[in-house]
């Protein structure tokens, strides 16, 4: 059984508040809540809201789910809150432009997909799923005015995302300010003890949620703000639109290979945010990397096994590793790959698009410029090079994409 201090260390692992004093304050309040829970036998009410803006999740989406699972394993009450009402506005927190509004049908479909995929991490039997339309749709205009009276226009206009748009003379729409009110009211409606979210949710969770709870006489929730997971480039936030993401529905082989493509410097944050490792285990890995007793390649393979096991199973992790070793360490080709018939000559750029190895000409040129395109082992460096397939050959794009070209 973990001590209270060990629980705090685990639950605060991977958090990012951008302010040391705020982080210490939240850790202190969390400890007080955990002690109170232990004394009274009442589990903490912990939730995270998910606005289902898309149906396909990547590792970055799962970071707060991993934190919910940690609370779950410590015996606390977990709510997976689907923001089917807040999604109709769209969270502006990490955007410097207006976020597109979704239809109710889009939100409903994505929400069901989100919840189902979350069970790759959460314990289905111990997870409560709720929708915030349950209470937000019942608010009257008078009640909305009362909620809004807790905040000033200045508080919203000093937020970085709104500030940037004002400086560019881009519009900031009034409905965008409603989002923080709605998310704050989620905490009130659930009498939440703890809310988990990304570090970009600081205003919504720490400012709006806590203040709104205090305004109705509730004890303000503890905000657990998670760091942002970088993509496979190790720098920029993981994003499907940037192509640096790792889908949680990827095959074991593809997922393993994508993890192995991470820069060495990104490994610690992936262990902290994605894995099931404890602070002590991660500290030992970091020490091993620092003193040279652990080789970065071996640590990265351990990370890849852990991540594939989470989203598939141990057998999938073994298959992914065998495939990686065979293809990338022993330089052999995979047994199975897509086959595409090429019956006419085309430029290399067009070939990459035709074989679905690239989604656009810009992406194709970038891959070529990076030296990531090979035909039968030969690097192809000219985007406008005319390719004519007269015999079967293997097109390799990057480290994981293989296509057998047939005449």
Tokens of 47: 């939730």
328 burial level (CB within 10 Å; 0-12, 13-18, 19+)? middle
Cα distance between residue 156 and residue 292, in whole Å: 48
| CA nearest to 266, candidates 241, 240, 246 | 246
| CA nearest to 178, candidates 65, 280, 90, 72 | 90
| CA nearest to 129, candidates 197, 201, 49 | 49
| CA nearest to 333, candidates 256, 254, 396 | 396
Helix (H) or strand (E) holding 259: helix 252-260
The pTM score is 0.77
**Rounded CA Rg of the chain:** 24
Whether 229 contacts 273, CB under 8 Å: yes
Bridge-based pairing state of the strands 194-198 and 45-50: parallel
Cα distance between residue 307 and residue 271, in whole Å: 9
Q: pLDDT per residue over 113-162, tens digit each?
A: 777 888 999 999 999 999 999 999 999 999 999 999 989 888 887 777 78
Distance, first Cα to last Cα, the chain: 64
Cα distance between residue 384 and residue 156, in whole Å: 50
Q: What residue ranges in 329-375 does DSSP mark as E strands?
A: 338-341, 346-347, 373-375
Residue spans of the domains in the chain: they are 4-226, 252-329, 338-406
Tokens of 87: 């999604």
Give CA separation, 49 vs 26, 82, 192, 309, 378, in Å: 19, 6, 12, 26, 49
- Kindly state which CATH superfamily the domain 338-406 is placed in: RNA-binding S4 domain (3.10.290.10)
Cα distance between residue 1 and residue 4, in whole Å: 9
Reading the chain (407 residues) residue by residue, the pLDDT tens digits are: 899 999 999 999 999 999 999 999 999 999 999 999 999 999 999 999 988 766 678 999 999 999 999 999 999 999 999 988 887 765 554 444 444 566 667 777 777 777 788 899 999 999 999 999 999 999 999 999 999 998 988 888 777 778 888 888 888 888 788 888 999 999 999 999 999 999 999 999 999 999 999 999 999 999 999 999 999 988 899 988 788 899 998 999 989 989 998 989 999 999 999 999 999 999 999 999 999 999 998 999 999 999 999 999 999 999 999 988 877 666 667 767 888 999 899 999 999 999 999 999 999 999 998 888 988 777 888 889 899 887 777 898 987 788 989 88
Whether 369 contacts 362, CB under 8 Å: no
Q: pLDDT per residue over 153-181, tens digit each?
A: 888 877 777 888 888 888 888 878 888 89
Cα distance between residue 208 and residue 89, in whole Å: 17
Residue found by looking up tokens 């296509």 in the block? 403
Whether 101 contacts 89, CB under 8 Å: yes
**252-329: which CATH topology?**
Tyrosyl-Transfer RNA Synthetase (1.10.240)
**4-226: which CATH topology?**
Rossmann fold (3.40.50)
């Amino acid at each position: 059984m973990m001590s209270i201090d060990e629980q705090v260390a685990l639950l605060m692992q991977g958090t990012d508040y951008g302010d040391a004093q705020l982080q210490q304050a939240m850790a202190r309040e969390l400890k007080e809540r955990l002690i109170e829970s232990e004394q009274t036998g009442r589990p903490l009410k912990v939730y995270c809201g998910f606005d289902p803006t898309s149906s396909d999740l990547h590792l970055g989406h799962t970071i707060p789910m991993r934190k919910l699972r940690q609370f779950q394993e410590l015996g606390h009450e977990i709510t997976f809150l689907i923001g089917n009402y807040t999604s109709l506005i769209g969270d502006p927190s990490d955007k410097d432009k207006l976020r597109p509004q979704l239809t109710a049908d889009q939100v409903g479909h994505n929400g069901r997909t989100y919840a189902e995929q979350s069970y790759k991490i959460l314990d289905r039997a111990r997870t409560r799923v709720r929708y915030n339309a349950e209470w937000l749709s019942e608010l009257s205009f008078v009640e909305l005015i009362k909620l809004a009276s807790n905040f000033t226009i200045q508080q919203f206009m000093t937020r970085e995302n709104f500030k940037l748009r004002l400086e560019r003379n881009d519009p900031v729409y009034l409905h965008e300010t409603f989002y923080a009110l709605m998310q704050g009211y989620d905490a009130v409606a659930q009498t939440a003890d703890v809310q988990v979210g990304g570090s970009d949710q600081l205003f919504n969770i720490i400012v709006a949620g806590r203040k709104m709870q205090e305004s109705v006489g509730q004890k303000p929730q503890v905000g657990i703000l998670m760091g942002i997971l970088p993509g496979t480039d190790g720098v920029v936030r993981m994003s499907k639109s940037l192509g640096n993401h790792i889908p949680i529905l990827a095959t074991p082989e593809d997922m393993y290979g994508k993890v192995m493509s991470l820069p060495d410097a990104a490994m610690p944050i992936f262990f902290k945010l994605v894995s099931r490792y404890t602070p002590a285990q991660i500290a030992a890995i970091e020490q091993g990397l620092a003193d040279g007793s652990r080789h970065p390649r071996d640590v990265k393979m351990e990370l890849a096994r852990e991540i594939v096991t989470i989203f598939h199973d141990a057998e999938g992790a073994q298959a992914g590793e065998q495939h990686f070793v065979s293809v990338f360490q022993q330089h052999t080709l995979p047994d199975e790959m897509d086959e595409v018939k090429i019956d006419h000559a085309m430029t290399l750029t067009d070939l990459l698009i035709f074989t679905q190895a690239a989604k656009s000409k810009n992406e194709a040129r970038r891959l070529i410029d990076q030296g990531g395109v090979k035909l039968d082992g030969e690097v192809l460096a000219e985007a406008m090079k005319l390719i004519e397939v007269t015999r079967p050959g293997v097109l390799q794009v990057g480290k994981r994409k293989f296509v057998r070209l047939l005449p």
